[in-house]
Amino acid sequence: AEDRRERLLVAARMILDRLDHTSGYRDPSIGKAMERTEAEMQRYAEGDLIGPSCGLDWFDSRTAGLAPGNVWTIAGPYKGRKTSLLRNILLGACARGASVSMFALEGSQSQTVAALLAMLATRRLVKWGRAEDAVLTPIFVLRGRRSEAQAQALAEARAELSGYNLRIYDAKDGIFSVDVVRSLIRRDKMLHGLDAFALDYLQLLGADGSGIFERMEGNARIMQRTAEEEAVTAVLLVQLNEGAIALMDS
């Protein structure tokens, strides 16, 4: 309520949405649908990527980059390194100029920043041949105990991270409501030219007492619709339970 700019942006977006819906619907005939499909196929044919690269060749080759409107799900067990993979994807995309928003439903903004600094600093330490110093963790970074090489690597990492078009939201921003997350995605698209957003992790969104499966299905649908409407990539983390893992093993 205190953010006047956000109120104005939301009001403007509501007006634009209404104009879109009252200006007539696109022709749904198969002929027109095929024309749109051919145009999209041409986008894929013109290059390997139709969205920002995340710097991971194996990921880009399967996704054509962070393509507008696509939804990618990273699913795995507890402590399965899902967030580490997500952070590598986001750091690679940001390093290549992408605009990214991350919703840290687990952890905090400070812990996320410390983890990203540790990753960027570790990359430098390995490159410098200082493997013995490449033992950085978020807690290590927050405590401030470091060798001379670690301090230099973290200083360079801080300068690099500060130049990224990146936003990090945590619980203090009220992101446990799917409506708040959707509003922030729309706002970041308007203000920052958002290319992709990440949600870590889906089960924690909208924990309001409803059944977890119903809630996850509803949230996933809203995130998918938002990605399509805003022409951004959604990267959703999902924690698999023991039953799902057992089914995969069998």
Q: Could you list the pLDDT tens digit for every one of the 250 residues in the chain?
A: 567 777 788 788 778 777 765 556 678 899 999 998 898 788 777 667 888 999 998 888 888 899 999 999 998 888 889 999 999 999 999 999 999 999 999 889 999 999 999 999 999 999 999 999 999 999 999 988 889 999 999 999 999 999 999 999 998 998 888 888 998 999 999 889 999 999 998 888 775 566 777 778 888 889 999 999 999 999 999 887 766 666 766 5
Q: Give me the pLDDT at residue 249, please.
A: 65
Total-model pTM: 0.81
Q: Residue 2: what pLDDT? A: 65
Q: How far is the CA of 95 from the CAs of 122, 140, 150, 173, 234, in angstroms?
A: 16, 24, 21, 25, 18
- The pLDDT of residue 207 is 59
Question: Residue 99: its pLDDT value, please?
Answer: 97
